[in-house]
Amino acid sequence: MLGEGIIKGLAETARNFFGSYVNKERLTTVQYPEERIPQIERTRDFPFLVYDGDDWEKGLRCVSCQICEKECPPKCIYIEKSKDKKPDAVGKLQFYPVRFDIDVSVCMSCQICVEVCPFDAIKMDVEFELSSDDRFGGLLHHKDKLAKSNEYYNKIHPIEAAAVDAALAQEREKEKEKQRLAAAAAAAAAAAKAAAAAAAPASGEPAGGETK
């Protein structure tokens, strides 16, 4: 029938309109920006860098491996690797990014950077209100703006973050055990060396205690 689609659409609109007076689920309009719909777990907008602890510079998980920079399709990630190393999230000495920039005006939110990162250092944010009156500098985000705490990550992606935290905790325990075993081996080697030195004859003393 001609116009059947229009009639069905108007009927659905009327059903939601009158239903909104008795059922909140029928109230489909949100008075943005005063009212906001909570973002779902799988929302992805633009990347951010995760850090552990209270100090974002010391706690950044990124080890400047530059995999995300190489794999980024629009080439919007720019990384400069450090010359020295610092402990990473699991206690291993790693390089860190002296510079880490993302041009969000170019980023297409494909999430490839997240998928290729072996250190769970970069994740997708739910923040979408990033407009700026600065056409160039305002859309180039440096690492201080990209850095967000693990608590924030747990807040926006609780299921995913819980799994990552569990894996990192396991890695930390492995690293601690490895360091403990290495320290025990070093102590044993030092004790054996000291015992050998104590058992050796004094310098210049004839072997077997013989006298001339």
CA 17, CA 61: separation in Å to the nearest integer?
49
- Token pair 């930390």 is at which residue? 172
Give the whole-number percent of the chain exceeding pLDDT 90. 46
For range 103-125, the mean pLDDT? 94
- What values do phi and psi take at 151, rounded to 5? -60, -40
CA 51, CA 66: separation in Å to the nearest integer?
17
Indicate the helix (H) or strand (E) that contains 99: strand 97-103
Q: Within 13 Å, how many C-alpha atoms sit on residue 182's CB side? A: 6
For range 32-39, the mean pLDDT? 84
For 9-23, b/e burial (b = at least 16 CB within 10 A) is eeeeeeeeeeeeeee
- Nearest by Cα to 149 from 49, 69, 77, 31: 49
- What values do phi and psi take at 166, rounded to 5? -65, -40
Asked whether 83 and 114 are in contact (CB, 8 A), the reply is: no
What pLDDT was estimated at residue 25?
A: 75
pLDDT tens for 140-167 read 999 999 999 999 999 999 999 999 999 9
Residue 210 has pLDDT above 80, yes or no: no
Q: Do you know the residue count of the chain?
A: 212
Other Cβ atoms closer than 10 A to 141? 23
Asked whether 160 and 81 are in contact (CB, 8 A), the reply is: no
The pTM of the full predicted model, rounded to 2 decimals, is 0.73
Residue 41 has pLDDT above 70, yes or no: yes
Other Cβ atoms closer than 10 A to 3? 8
Asked whether 126 and 156 are in contact (CB, 8 A), the reply is: yes
CA 113, CA 98: separation in Å to the nearest integer?
18
Class of domain 47-166 as given by CATH: alpha beta
pLDDT tens for 48-66 read 999 998 889 888 999 999 9
CA 188 to chain centre: 38
- What values do phi and psi take at 192, rounded to 5? -65, -40
Residue 211 pLDDT level (bands cut at 50, 70, 90): low
